[in-house]
């Protein structure tokens, strides 16, 4: 397990504070905007940066002041950083050579990793002849070769074209599950964060905003920031909540009579709403009348803006609705989540 205990790092115009654990076999994602401090956390764990205060522990051992080469933590950069003077096999074997692993054992391990990353036969290829995805897999194999205690991945798919990212994500998940290596994955892609993570940590301005399983963070976020950052969301003030069917709420709304009633207190994902007739069976807790104001076409679905007495709501529904059409909105019970 890796623990960051009360870590502080100050850069003058930016400061980071982190207190988190990465458990055995876990794939943890650090998710946030550019400049939120995700990569800094990774660099601190790797030893490329030293914290001003706090401790970093790996399996209970303090590695805070240990140089990177003695931490046994693998690192993969977004643009692969394969050594250009070495071929694929030599790149993967680099860490094994450092560990002075005997030749035959080294060759065996390289072959295993080539197989694991589905790069069999690439051993003697020059790294400059590989595609982006192949280079990324070599980088992954190279990081895994010395059997590190943890793997750090800094936006590893951001330089890969969108079509290939899906298969690489599956690859990564397969490799991580096969090796069981604790992994920290940094991304600003919502899809990657939700798809890959065992646990998701949302960062903002150098601090952790929220942490939990992807489902929890997505469906029951504590903060408005996390709700908005993980996907489209309808937000409601206390006053708006009163105009909605109360069965839609997952808890009793707070009694805001202190002037703070303008702030959003609850969120609802657009895909939870449906037009009348399409509501999930058994959960028609009540409906809301409205008129379609705008239609956004996204291929397999449309994003409708519907005017209701509770305000304008985003609704994700199948294509077919038209502007001006009167609709009845339905929603499963408890789908509106009250923020903490």
The residue count for binding other proteins (CB under 8 A) is 32
Scanning residues 182 to 211, which ones bind other proteins (CB under 8 A)? none
Question: Considering only 82-90, 111-119, 162-170, 214-222, which stretch makes contact with other proteins by CB under 8 A?
Answer: 82-90
Backbone angles phi and psi of 120, in degrees to 5? -55, 135
The yes or no reply on residue 56 touching other proteins (CB under 8 A) is no
Q: Are 326 and 306 in contact (CB under 8 A)?
A: no
Cβ at position 269, least distance to other proteins in Å: 38
The yes or no reply on residue 253 touching other proteins (CB under 8 A) is no
Cβ at position 192, least distance to other proteins in Å: 21
Scanning residues 91 to 130, which ones bind other proteins (CB under 8 A)? 94-95, 97-99, 126-128
Integer Cα distance of 188 and 72 in angstroms: 26
The yes or no reply on residue 47 touching other proteins (CB under 8 A) is yes
Which of 92/292 has CB closer to other proteins?
92
The yes or no reply on residue 246 touching other proteins (CB under 8 A) is no
The yes or no reply on residue 84 touching other proteins (CB under 8 A) is yes
The yes or no reply on residue 51 touching other proteins (CB under 8 A) is no
Which of 37/146 has CB closer to other proteins?
146
Integer Cα distance of 243 and 288 in angstroms: 9
Alpha helices in the chain (DSSP H): 38-46, 88-98, 103-116, 132-144, 162-179, 190-196, 214-219, 224-230, 238-242
- Beta strand residue intervals within the chain, DSSP E: 2-10, 15-22, 27-32, 53-58, 61-62, 73-76, 150-154, 183-187, 199-204, 207-212, 234-236, 266-268, 274-275, 287-297, 302-308, 311-317, 326-330, 337-338
Contact residues for other proteins (CB under 8 A)?
46-48, 67-75, 77, 79, 81, 83-85, 94-95, 97-99, 126-128, 142-143, 145-146, 148, 152
């Amino acid at each position: 397990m890796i623990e960051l205990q009360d870590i502080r790092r100050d850069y003058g115009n930016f400061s980071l504070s982190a207190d988190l654990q990465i458990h055995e076999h876990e794939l943890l994602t650090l998710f946030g905007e550019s400049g939120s401090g995700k990569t800094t956390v990774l660099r601190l764990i790797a030893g490329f940066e030293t914290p001003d205060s706090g401790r970093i522990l790996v399996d209970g051992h303090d590695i805070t002041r240990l140089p990177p080469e003695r931490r046994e933590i693998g690192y993969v950069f977004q643009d692969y950083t394969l050594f250009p003077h070495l071929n694929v096999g030599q790149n993967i074997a680099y860490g094994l050579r450092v560990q002075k692993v005997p030749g035959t054992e080294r060759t065996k391990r390289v072959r295993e990793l080539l197989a694991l990353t589905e790069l069999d036969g690439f051993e003697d290829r020059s790294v400059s002849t590989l595609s982006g995805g192949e280079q990324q897999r070599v980088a992954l194999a190279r990081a895994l070769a010395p059997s590190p205690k943890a793997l750090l991945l800094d936006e590893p798919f951001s330089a890969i074209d969108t079509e290939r990212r899906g298969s690489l994500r599956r690859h990564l998940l397969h490799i991580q599950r096969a090796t069981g290596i604790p992994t920290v994955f940094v991304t600003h892609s919502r899809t990657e964060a939700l798809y890959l993570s065992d646990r998701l940590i949302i960062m903002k301005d150098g601090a952790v905003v929220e942490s939990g399983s992807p489902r929890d963070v997505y469906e029951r976020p504590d903060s408005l920031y996390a709700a908005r950052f993980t996907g489209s969301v309808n937000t409601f003030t206390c006053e708006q909540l009163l105009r909605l069917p109360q069965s839609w709420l997952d808890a009793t709304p707070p009694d805001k009579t202190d002037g703070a009633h303008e702030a959003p207190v609850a969120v609802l994902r657009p895909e939870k709403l449906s037009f009348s007739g399409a509501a999930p069976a058994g959960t028609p807790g009540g409906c809301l009348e409205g008129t379609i104001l705008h239609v956004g076409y996204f291929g397999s679905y449309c994003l409708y803006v519907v005017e209701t007495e509770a305000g304008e709501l985003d609704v994700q529904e199948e294509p077919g609705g038209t502007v001006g059409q009167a609709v009845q909105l339905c929603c499963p019970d408890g789908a509106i989540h009250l923020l903490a």
